Amino acid sequence: MVPESPLLNTRWVLHTLGDEVVPPTENYSAPDLLLKLETNSAEGNAGCNRFRGSFTRSGTEQLSFNRLLSTKMACPVLPTESRYMSALGATTRYQIKGDTLRLFGTDAVRPVAWFLAGRR
């Protein structure tokens, strides 16, 4: 059994957006997410652009992202980046099982995105 990874201060690497696995790319970093406890900030890499903002946790497993700003470099993975940023914006709840983080929007069954702790 894999021990549960903490939500905060863990580098979460994007694995799936909706129902589609996000494949690794040769020239770009894997999209990731880091929620920092000390500053209540969210930051990460969306593919070729970096983003930063804040997050709010309220209640059991409730999570939302606020004012996420990103750099605006053009690159071939922009469609995936756009979907990733939309998924973060739609997040209302999270679930951690072992080393897997799932983010949910209004659909409580199908995650908008899921991540693996610190690896691809």
* Predicted local confidence at residue 91, as pLDDT: 97
114 close to 18: Cβ distance less than 8 angstroms: no
Query: In terms of pTM, does the model score above 0.85?
Result: yes
Instruction: Provide the pLDDT confidence category of residue 103 given band limits of 50, 70 and 90.
Output: very high
* CATH class name, domain 11-117: mainly beta
Phi-psi region of 68 (alpha: psi -120 to 50; beta: other; left: phi over 0): beta
Q: Please say whether the dihedral angle defined by the alpha carbons of residues 85, 107, 95 and 54, taken in this order, is positive or negative.
A: positive
* Predicted local confidence at residue 95, as pLDDT: 96
How many whole angstroms separate alpha carbon 62 and alpha carbon 103?
10
How are the residues of the chain apportioned to helix, strand and coil, as percentages rounded to the nearest 5? Answer: 10, 40, 45
